[in-house]
Amino acid sequence: MFALRQWWNQHALRTALIALAIATAWAVRETGASPIYEVYRWVTSPLHPGASRRDVLASSYTQELQQQIVELESQNRSLRQLLDAPRAETGASIPAAVIGRSAGEWWQQIVISRGSNAGVQVGYVVEGPGGLVGRVIAVSPSSSRVLLISDRTSRVGARVSRSRATGYVRGRMGQQVIMEFFDKMPEVREGDVVVTSSYSQLFPQDRVIGRVVSLDLSKSPAPEVTIELTAPLDILEWVEVVPFEPSEAPEDAPPAVLDSGDGLTP
């Protein structure tokens, strides 16, 4: 007992400091690292990609294509009105620079330069030149963290745009991802374009994911194909954050989709 009290007298301050440090680290872990990323954004701000890149992005050619898209979308909308099939409207997108990569080796994340001050919220969808990139998982006032679709925990409900064969895409920590089909005999061949499906709850439908590069249709339990992502995730410099509210599960969706697709397992 005496020895214990003597030890305490000698080490009380040290023990208290250690406990305080551990408690602080735990609190930071539980609340997310938004102060860390705020300072990170401030420190790295001279290194962010400059305005010239933005000019390139907003070149006249891009503008022309965008105008065409607007035209096609409005045509599409009027046709859909005729068909009585409403489509979720998406708001204006927020451009953001990629200022960092994932802080751990087992994650596929990027840090972007816009946060809640610019209106970014958790769950918003991030697109880059070429197609879908990922979704926002953490937001601080002036930066946010994006989970890429190549992360090993990422699932995206997807379909082959030519044959409408559905399945889900899961990440493999690289530029190539795997798509598993719900169907035993999906109609798919090399070169097919894969887009997000309407069963996807975390992503809007009809966003380009990638292109099929190889097939493994005899794979058990589900046939799968390898997809090359069209968005170059390794060299991304600018992305667009698209406002999106994760939707509720559609009632007529097949149960397999709800069980295994679309979710981001923690």
Partner 1 sequence: MTATVTTSLNKLKRYRWLNVAITLGSVWGCMMLLPVRPPGMELLGVGPSWLLIWVVAWSINRNVVDGAIAGLILGFLQDAMTGPYPTHAIGLVIVGMLTARIQKQRFIQEDFVSISMIVFGMAVVAQTAMALQITAQRLIQVGVSYPQLPEIWLQHQRIALSSAILSSLWAPALYYPLNRWWRHYTRVVAPPGNTP
Binding residues (CB under 8 A) for partner 1: these are: 18, 21-22, 25-26, 28-33, 36-37, 39-40, 43-44, 47, 99-107, 109, 111, 137, 152, 170, 172-174, 234, 259-260, 265-266
Query: Looking at beta carbons only, is 36 or 70 nearer to partner 1?
Result: 36
Q: Which residues contact 211 (CB under 8 A, 6 or more apart)?
A: 191, 192, 193, 194, 227, 228, 230
Shortest Cβ distance from residue 178 to partner 1 (Å)? Answer: 8
**Closest CB to partner 1 among 105 and 251?**
105
Closest CA to 179 of 149, 201, 203: 149
CB of 169 to partner 1, least distance (A): 11
Q: CA angle, corner 133, sides to 236 and 228, nearest 5?
A: 90
Q: The tokens 């068909």 sit on which residue? A: 83
Name the minimum Å distance from CB 109 to partner 1. 7
Residue with smaller CB distance to partner 1, 198 or 260: 260
CB 264 → partner 1: shortest distance, Å?
10
Kindly tell me which of 31 and 60 has the beta carbon lying closer to partner 1: 31
Q: Classify the phi-psi angles of 254: left when phi > 0, otherwise alpha if psi is within -120 to 50, otherwise beta.
A: beta
Secondary structure of residue 19 in the 3-state scheme: helix
Shortest distance, CB of residue 18 to partner 1, whole angstroms? Answer: 6
Q: Which two tokens stand for residue 49?
A: 């990609």
Q: Which is nearer to partner 1, 21 or 56 (CB)?
A: 21
Rounded (to 5) percent helix, strand, coil in the chain: 35, 25, 40
Structure tokens at 57: 């992005």
